Amino acid sequence: MSNEKSFKDTDSLKNSRLKEAKDTIVDTSNFALEAVSNIGEAVGPYLPLITAVASLTQQIVKAYESAQYNKKSCAVLLERVQAAEIAVQALNRRKQENEKNFRNQSYYYSFERFVAILREIKGFIQDVTHLSGYRKFISSVHIKERFQQLITDFDNVVGDLQLAMVIANEDERRSDIAMLQEDIDEMTKFLEKIKGGVTTIDKKISNVLEHILTLKGKSSERDFNPIINRIDPNELREPVGGSQPVVSSRNKHKIHKKLYRGQDVACKLIAEEQNKPDKSDKSSETVTPIPSRVHSELAILSNLGKCDHVINFHGLCEKDGSVLGVFGWAENGNLRELYEKFDIEWPRKLKIALNICREITFLHAWLVKVQFD
């Protein structure tokens, strides 16, 4: 049942992108290109399409440049797109020579299809180069089928448009598919070895990551109000021997060490009180509301702690009109402080580097952009 749903989701995404492409295209149903009086009128309906080709090419380049996985195989698609974009610009410059094509209604429809395929390529690259999009596909077989369909459709429409570029033959297409398989195998091997909590033993995206990605997807919704654990101020106790507040190098706020349910925790300021009341007047204290964006990010942070290599976020505590975030305590500070305090042997350094890599991999899986230190 879940496999069927995944196929439907992918097909739905494809249909929405095709509709989006058609929305940018001129409606030619009310006139015939063959009947226009001059080349300028014949080319007119194509101008939005030519502009769309240039814009989509730039977007595809950006998607490729931000790729985290499967970059070699996506370069195959990018090279095709860039070559076609150059050919389209040459076509536009040689209007007179291509007047017969511009007056052909079926040629216009082929151009429409070309723009739609470019949108599909952009979406595919965005999906397979990041784990947050990769999960939309059921398996590597599904990815290969989609890739093969895209390059076949692209090469066919380029042939229909008679663009001045070399069209790949069957041997080259097989080579492209083989390159994609190498990329997928390399990615799978990396995720298995890194053991960062991204995938499960059966090579599927972990449930924790799935839940985080769901939260992230809903975070932009207006009525999204995830539950965050609330901590009673009385549960935060002074550690044995007391502690001195530490000043964060990033935001200059003091970080207080406390004891929460037997664990050392770091209390960091999330939102300050709106006014500075007279301490004798408790009624004037006002707790500053947390912006919805920050609230969503904190909800995601509370799930990130389920990854062994990410500092845990325990919840929020309202105290003296301010809101504090309660995080796991890093006894040795950040990595720089750790290196400055101790002489670390190379085996230990490699272990630290591996754990950092696991954490970054997990965070990259949902493109985390939150920082509170």
Residue 268, CB-side half-sphere exposure with 13 Å CA sphere:
22
Per-residue pLDDT, averaged over 17-21, amounts to: 51
Query: What is the DSSP annotation of 136-170?
Result: TSS-HHHHHHHHHHHHHHHHHHHHHHT-SSPPP-H
Contact 134, 69 (CB under 8 A): yes
Whole-prediction pTM:
0.57
Over residues 146-204, the pLDDT tens digits come to 888 999 999 999 989 888 776 666 677 777 777 777 777 776 666 666 555 555 434 44
Helices (H) and strands (E) in the chain, counts: 13, 6
Model confidence at 301, pLDDT cuts 50, 70, 90, reads confident
Distance of CA 52 to the CA centre of its chain: 23
From residue 122, how far is each of 78, 115, 133, 150 by CA, in Å? 9, 11, 12, 11
From residue 97, how far is each of 33, 39, 74, 101, 103 by CA, in Å? 16, 10, 34, 9, 12
Residue 72, CB-side half-sphere exposure with 13 Å CA sphere:
13
Over residues 111-158, the pLDDT tens digits come to 999 999 999 999 999 888 876 666 655 567 788 888 889 999 999 999
Q: Which domains does the chain have, with CATH numbers?
A: 2-194 (no CATH), 233-278+286-364 (3.30.200.20)
Torsion of CA 208, 12, 110, 106, to 10 degrees: 180
From residue 352, how far is each of 309, 356, 358 by CA, in Å? 10, 6, 10
Which residue reads 């033959």 in tokens? 169
Which residue reads 């309660």 in tokens? 326
First vs last Cα of the chain: how many Å apart? 43
Please, which residues have CB within 8 angstroms of residue 184's CB and are 6 or more apart in sequence? 70, 140, 143, 144
pLDDT score of 65 more than 70: yes
Beta-bridge mates of residue 257 = 266
